[in-house]
Structure 1
Amino acid sequence: MPIIQSVERALKILDLFNEQEPELRITEISERMHLNKSTVHSLLRTLQEYGYIERNTENGKYKLGLKLFERGNFVTYNLDTRTIARKYLLDLSLKTGHTLHLVILEGKEAVYIDKVEGKSGNVEGSRIGRRATLHSSGVGKVLFAFRTEEEMNQILDGYIFEKRTTNTLTNKEDFLEEIAKIKKQGYAIDKEENEPGISCIAFPIYSYTNKVIAAFSISMPTPQLNDEQLNRIIPIMEQTAEQISKEMGYRS
């Protein structure tokens, strides 16, 4: 796969800055990159436009922008969520025998950041890094349900309700009706809405900001999702959600 030269150059510019040299002049960047100043200036302007580079107006030097701090915190935060949640998900998988997933919201999609395989091992379609639609998955519905009204409207703007199975909700009205139900009961159920033969129960995870930052789910073959299973699993999942959220700093 070919490397895009302009992207490579921009990333190399970011790598020039360190603790010893937090600020650099354009001439210094030009010399170290072996590029003419006009090319470097164009690259810097683009990076500056998106917040990855800032210019010190007092001395004319360039430095790393706050966007990198923001992105870095995002990555670290998700890693912390995964680390904290994992022991609880492992315990929950042992108690139930089912497969567990940990998911975060990224844009208008849910992204799997961890998976604990259940002893039954019958959920093969999921993997870490996979994306899921918000309207068809239990975790996606949970991540959407506990956003602010403004955030919901932003997500729904241009959102496509792709039909994944015969059970998928395929319009905004039905989806919002389901979301209202989820907000009231505190969890979501996906009955073969995302994948034929597989059903899920999903709960939210809160952070110290009292906002939902992730969701986790139990997945199982649909025939196993009966009233007896729901009555047994939901209280255990609710307790797990409280434990993880509490360790993330959440105070109800």
Structure 2
Amino acid sequence: MSAINQPESVSSVLKTFAILQALSTQKDIGVSELAQRLMMSKSTVYRFLQTMKTLGIVAQEGDSEHYSLTLKLFEMGASALEYLDLVAIADIEMNKVFSLSGEAVHLGVPDGSSFVFAHKLDAAYSLGVQARVGSRQALHSTAIGNVLLAQKSEAELREVWNVSEVGDNTDYATLLIKLEAARKKGYALDREESEAGVISVAVPVYDRFQKVIAAIAVAMPSIRYSEETCGRYVEALHQAAAAISSKLGCKDYPHQQSAAA
């Protein structure tokens, strides 16, 4: 449909978005400059800006002819992101990891000093790692817990440690070393430390603020583990986590090199 034949309502929408797009490129713009840039009449631009000002989308700089965007659109976008179903988004990408590995794939979300299994895909093998959706585990245990815990500050780490039921085989200094490795590598590996015969590897999932809000992991019996398979699973997990994070508003997944491998 050509611009000439477009209904006035469609034309108005296009003009509105053109103005918003222009305003998003710099802090404030004058009506004259905006009209010249968009090849619209000054009176048309002024009329649209006044309507958007009434709606709270733009703000006028005092009595000048300069306008800028408010946070209204950001608030609307943020509200929309809150309604995104993490499990539904993650399920698509987790299935890709499952297709490669055939092993159990888990999604964990933090809750206080523990994490909750929010979603799972059971292994295709008769011998596989089992997890129950809704069950909890301590953050200091398993690869998922370590990935989530690695993002916390020293004070937060100590707080979690103090309220955790720590086994005899775990000490704080060793945990700090593991968490530092997880931060540097972009993934955590649990070699039968939490459960005999079970190895898991996990990577972080980020939201629009570059904050880790979840982790996805592959868990397998130790008899099927090898350095080669672990490397392939890490790559697949990073690709999945990057895709999930992108859908949650994360523009730059921190582990892009691994995700693109």
Q: TM-score per shorter chain, which class?
A: 0.5 to 0.7
1:134 aligns with 2:139: yes
The 5 A counterparts of 1:34-183 are: 80-163=85-168, 169-183=169-183
Is 1:218 matched up with 2:223?
A: no
Mapped to 2, the partners of 1:230 and 1:104 lie a distance apart of 22
| Alpha-carbon distance between aligned partners in 1 of 2:83 and 2:114, rounded to the nearest angstrom | 15
Deviations 1:50-88 (A, max 9, x none): xxxxxxxxxxxxxxxxxxxxxxxxxx9597211110111
* C-alpha distance in 1 between matches for 2:224 and 2:249: 34
Q: Is the 8 A contact 2:104 2:120 kept in 1?
A: yes
Q: 2:180 & 2:241 partners in 1: Cα distance?
A: 20
Query: 2 CA distance for matches of 1:236 and 1:121?
Result: 23
Q: SS of the counterpart of 1:183?
A: helix
Residue type of the alignment partner of 1:134: L
Partner of 2:236: 236
Q: Secondary structure at the match of 1:126?
A: coil
Instruction: Number of aligned residue pairs: give it.
Output: 173
The one-letter amino acid paired with 2:183 is K
Q: CA separation in 1, counterparts of 2:92 and 2:126?
A: 19
Distance 1:250 1:148, change over 3 A: farther
Cα deviation, residue 124, structure 1: 4.8
State the secondary structure of the residue aligned to 2:133: coil
TM-score between the two structures when normalised by the length of structure 2: 0.61
Gap runs ≥5 in structure 1? 1-75, 164-168
> How large is the Cα RMSD of the aligned pairs?
2.1
CA–CA separation in structure 2 for the residues paired with 1:92 and 1:125: 17
> 2:247 is matched by which residue type in structure 1?
E
Identity %: 29
Question: What residue number does 2:65 align with?
Answer: none
Q: Cα offset for 1:192? A: 1.1
CA distance in 1, matches of 2:129, 2:220: 11
Q: Which aligned segments of 4 or more residues in structure 1 are displaced greater than 6 angstroms?
A: none
Contact 2:97 2:233 in 1 (8 A): no
Amino acid at match of 1:234: V
2:108–2:119 Cα contact (<8 Å) kept: yes
- Residue number in structure 2 paired with 1:189: 189
Output one character per residue of 1:88-126: Cα deviation in whole Å (capped at 9) or x when no partner: 101210121111000011111111010111211533541
Partner Cα distance (1:140, 1:244) in 2? 19
State the shift of 1:224 in Å: 1.6
Deviation of the 1:230 alpha carbon: 1.7
- Comparing 175-184 and 154-163, the one that deviates more: 154-163
Q: Give the conservation status (yes or no) of the 8 Å contact 1:123–1:198.
A: no
Report the Cα offset of residue 173 of structure 1: 0.8
CA contact (8 A) 1:99 1:121 kept: no
Are the counterparts in 1 of residues 104 and 130 from structure 2 also a CA contact under 8 Å?
A: no
Q: CA deviation at 1:147?
A: 2.1
Gaps of 5+ in 2: 1-80, 253-261
